[in-house]
């Protein structure tokens, strides 16, 4: 038995999926075609809906309390069933943290074939999710399942936030510094796993990153007074940053020398280990992104790499930057990299340079 095999089963879960993790999402352009059919919402209790492309919906209950609702599920991203469940749970919970909230409870979302795949393996997936929700203090209360030839798993999560302390795409200001709290590269690394170019042991740092909750990063952001944030997942760093730029009416500068990157991710990017989601992201970002000539091709890929359970991208006022970095350090976040700043200019545009800034 090699280390590509799931716990004691010999089943390679990644071989059963057409795409890995958040890379199996619909592209941004495809999703836009769908969202335009949603009715507009005119209710004062709705603080955030799909129109702003935020990470979750927010519904006000009272002057000091609002509910956060989100859902996320995806195909197998690793071959170990328990790790897949844990990563899927951390990824779904991340939407609540990105809004500045605290998760309250969650429901399992399961697609699983009735034949050909053990239900004991599904039990391992759900056990991994339970480990992470327990760590988050989030109750796992039930769920829903369907018969599907391609396995999928995730959570529907309900959380809460004070309406005055939400972090949204609309809360950024010109001059804000951009801080990233996890390294990039999960998309190219898990695609390399799926294509037998890396083993599970070799992508262990990526698995640890994807399993890690963004709870500490959210607490640090709240302590520093951050009001604009998103998590970096299937649309890549540039795609999710683009939602902040559009929501806040700004442009941005990014500095690739400051990017935190997982081990071997640049190598896999250089060798063409690109998920389909990353390729779609590159095409979507090209319209509004200008890269200096000396920015390496691998960095351009990693900026668009379809992440799963990535870090929080925080926009913080310059005078609060040191406070945020100190708080992130105290929380033990995997990264606390200042990767750029927000500027005035053509809304939604980005300039990528190879500069290294303090």
| Same-domain status, 206 and 283 | yes
22 is catalytic: yes
Q: What is the CATH number of the domain that holds 300?
A: 3.90.650.10
C-alpha 255/C-alpha 266 separation (Å) is: 16
pLDDT at residue 33, rounded to an integer: 67
> For 292, left (φ over 0), alpha (ψ -120 to 50), or beta?
beta
Domain count of the fold of the chain: 2
Of 22, 24, 138, 291, which one is the catalytic site residue?
22
| Same-domain status, 218 and 204 | yes
| Same-domain status, 245 and 335 | yes
Average pLDDT over residues 41-46: 92
Range of the domain at 324: 166-353
Domain-embedded: residue 1: no
| Same-domain status, 225 and 141 | no
Domain-embedded: residue 5: no
| Same-domain status, 75 and 172 | no
C-alpha 154/C-alpha 126 separation (Å) is: 9
- CB distance 163 to 59 below 8 Å: no
Q: What is the CATH number of the domain that holds 33?
A: 3.30.1330.10
Report residue 73's pLDDT band, with 50, 70 and 90 as the boundaries. Answer: very high
pLDDT at residue 5, rounded to an integer: 40
pLDDT at 285 over 80: yes
| Same-domain status, 184 and 326 | yes
Domain-embedded: residue 145: yes
- Look at residues 164, 197, 212 and tell me which one is the last residue of a structural domain: 164
pLDDT at residue 270, rounded to an integer: 95
Average pLDDT over residues 48-56: 91
Report residue 124's pLDDT band, with 50, 70 and 90 as the boundaries. Answer: very high
pTM above 0.85? yes
Helix ranges (H only) for the chain are 28-35, 81-98, 119-136, 186-194, 204-211, 215-223, 236-248, 265-270, 276-285, 297-304, 321-331
Report residue 11's pLDDT band, with 50, 70 and 90 as the boundaries. Answer: confident
- Look at residues 164, 182, 212 and tell me which one is the last residue of a structural domain: 164
| Same-domain status, 135 and 188 | no
| Same-domain status, 245 and 302 | yes
**What is the maximal distance between C-alpha atoms in the chain?**
58
Which pLDDT tens digit goes with each residue over 200-250?
899 999 999 999 999 999 999 999 999 999 999 999 999 999 999 999 999
- Look at residues 108, 143, 164 and tell me which one is the last residue of a structural domain: 164
pLDDT at 4 over 80: no
| Same-domain status, 260 and 128 | no
């Amino acid at each position: 038995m090699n280390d590509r095999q799931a716990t004691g089963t010999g089943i390679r879960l990644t071989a059963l999926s057409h795409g890995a993790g958040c890379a199996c999402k619909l592209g941004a352009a495809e999703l836009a075609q769908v969202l335009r059919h949603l009715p507009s919402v005119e209710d004062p209790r709705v603080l955030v809906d799909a129109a702003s492309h935020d990470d979750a919906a927010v519904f006000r209950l009272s002057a000091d309390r609002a509910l956060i609702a989100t859902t996320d599920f995806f195909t197998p991203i690793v071959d170990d069933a328990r790790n897949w469940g844990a990563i899927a749970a951390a990824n779904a919970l991340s939407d609540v943290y990105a809004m500045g909230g605290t998760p309250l409870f969650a429901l399992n979302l399961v697609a699983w074939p009735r034949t050909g795949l053990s239900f004991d393996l599904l039990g391992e997936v759900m056990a991994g999710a339970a480990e992470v929700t327990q760590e988050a203090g989030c109750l796992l209360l039930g769920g829903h399942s369907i018969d599907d030839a391609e396995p999928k798993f995730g959570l529907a999560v309900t959380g809460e936030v004070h309406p005055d302390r939400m972090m949204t795409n609309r809360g950024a200001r010109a001059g804000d510094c951009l801080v990233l709290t996890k390294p990039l590269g999960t998309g190219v690394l898990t695609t390399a796993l799926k294509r037998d170019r890396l083993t599970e042991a070799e992508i262990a740092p990526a698995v640890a990153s994807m399993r890690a909750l963004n709870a500490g990063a959210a607490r640090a952001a709240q302590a520093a007074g951050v009001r604009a944030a998103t998590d970096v997942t299937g649309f890549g760093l540039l795609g999710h940053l683009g939602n902040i730029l559009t929501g806040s009416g700004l442009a941005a500068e990014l500095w690739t020398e400051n990017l935190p990157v997982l081990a071997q991710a640049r190598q896999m990017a250089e060798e063409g280990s690109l998920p389909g989601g990353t390729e779609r992201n590159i095409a979507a970002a090209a319209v509004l992104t200008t890269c200096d000539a000396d920015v390496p091709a691998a960095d351009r890929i990693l900026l668009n790499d379809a992440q799963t359970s990535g870090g929080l991208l925080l926009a913080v006022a310059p005078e609060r930057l040191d406070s945020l970095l100190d708080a992130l350090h105290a929380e033990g976040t995997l990264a606390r990299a200042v990767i750029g700043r927000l500027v005035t200019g053509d809304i939604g545009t980005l300039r990528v340079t190879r500069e290294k800034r303090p």
